[in-house]
A and B are shown apart, each in its own frame.
Chain A
């Protein structure tokens, strides 16, 4: 039973990581514009996150080094500090966006004032994280995120043409005109970025240490990374598919979180719609928790301070102040009226730009035989790791120009 529940770390990481506010809206926008044509990027992104999630879990277990300890060692103090500041800024923006998204969903479920709902979201999450032990945080948010399965069932219930769906698995240019080509590239990079958001590996590697994984758990590490990410990928494909079936033919470009849940009401009606809203709420709550905790993990790991969700606040004071601070500042940002989707657009592009600085140190350490011994990357890991790192680097260079040229994905 414990082994089964252990998978919740992967599920929470993946659902909170790449089925978060940004991914939900971004993927549906891509489906609404290009149908199934971007399905292949979800497959590619899933393969990349599985490879790197497994690697950072393995490094955490074997070397007992979480991601930001590796970043400091590999990049040096100066570049490491720049990466730390950039990553935590990204975590803060994403946390604020997710809290804003939670406010919107609570408003849709209750009708209460949206800002009050955002305040409730902050208090609820801060209390939940304060009270629950790490294992219960991942179980609560990981398992409740499974409500998102309603999107997958809705997609199947709409009776898609599976052959047409499968054509999207092969990358091909079906767009015409310069603007459409830029939009296609922007959404491809955006989906890829949202699937590889840095906080996923920050949270996952720290979680492996929080859970006291040992070398005996390396098999579980593969399963957790694989199953969690595959589940997240299936749900992401379903979101893209729903938009391709329901929004594309009608000329709808979903520009609000509330629009995305509507897709489940078409085949199933009001109960499915409520379940979809609860699923979205669970996933974006999980993402808010991941980003807030990652902010605290990163600083403490970089400066070698005591950290751990299962430690008392007195034992890990900096860590505790930091995650509480992330919620408070994130809450202030979203309550001040900044649109969550604007924050998401910034976080996706900014996240892509700094991504190589997180993934390169992981790859170098995982392949280092002096540190990892017989658990170092084999040839296949190295080839895949470098291949994905090249793709990440190319995407990180292209992200900002594409954002400017497409006016952040304007159709």
Chain B
């Protein structure tokens, strides 16, 4: 589960960096539109892996929180704006930051 938390945190951190770059108009338009699908693919894979996991009673709560974070990550990734410079990118970056830090706290607990 620690490994999944590390990967999930990594995807959220990357999505945060990407969103900040796009918000500042630092990414090419086609890349802005197409890179998120690769992040989503990774996040969906993690969600599937977490859904299949059966945790011991003492880490059941942690698993549920990790699944929630992963679902939130998938949702935010699927709702990203399409154009660079859109002010909603800053909002997305903030959400990714929150997810990353929530997952990181969880990872340290495990």
Q: A residues within 8 Å of B by Cβ? A: 104, 107-111, 246, 250-259, 261-262, 265-266, 269-271, 273-274, 277, 407, 410-411
Contact = CB atoms under 8 A, between A and B. Distances in A.
19 contacts: A109-B30, A111-B30, A251-B9, A255-B10, A255-B42, A256-B39, A256-B42, A258-B34, A258-B38, A259-B14, A265-B21, A265-B27, A269-B27, A270-B29, A271-B28, A274-B31, A277-B28, A411-B6, A411-B10
B33 interface: yes
Q: Chain B interface secondary structure, helix, strand, loop or mixed?
A: helix
A107 B30 CA distance: 9
A108 B39 CA distance: 13
Interface in B14-49: 14, 16-18, 21, 25-31, 33-35, 38-39, 41-42
A254 B15 CA distance: 11
Given A270-B27, A274-B28, A262 B39 contact: no
B13 interface: yes
B56 interface: no
A262 B42 CA distance: 17
A269 B22 CA distance: 9
Contact of A108 (B9, B13, B30, B42): B30
B13 A251 contact: yes
A262 B18 contact: yes
Contacts of B98: none
A256 B38 contact: yes
Interface in B32-70: 33-35, 38-39, 41-42
Categorize the interface residue count of chain B. Answer: 20 to 34
Given A110-B30, A265-B28, A270-B31, 10 more contacts: A108-B30, A111-B33, A111-B34, A253-B7, A255-B42, A256-B38, A266-B17, A269-B26, A410-B3, A411-B10
Q: Which of B26, B29, B33 has the most CB of A within 10 A?
A: B26
A253 B6 contact: yes
B22 to A, nearest CB: 9
A271 to B, nearest CB: 8
A148 B26 CA distance: 19
B104 interface: yes
Contacts of B30: 108-111
Contact of B7 (A255, A265, A271): A255
B7 A273 contact: no
Contacts of A277: 28, 31
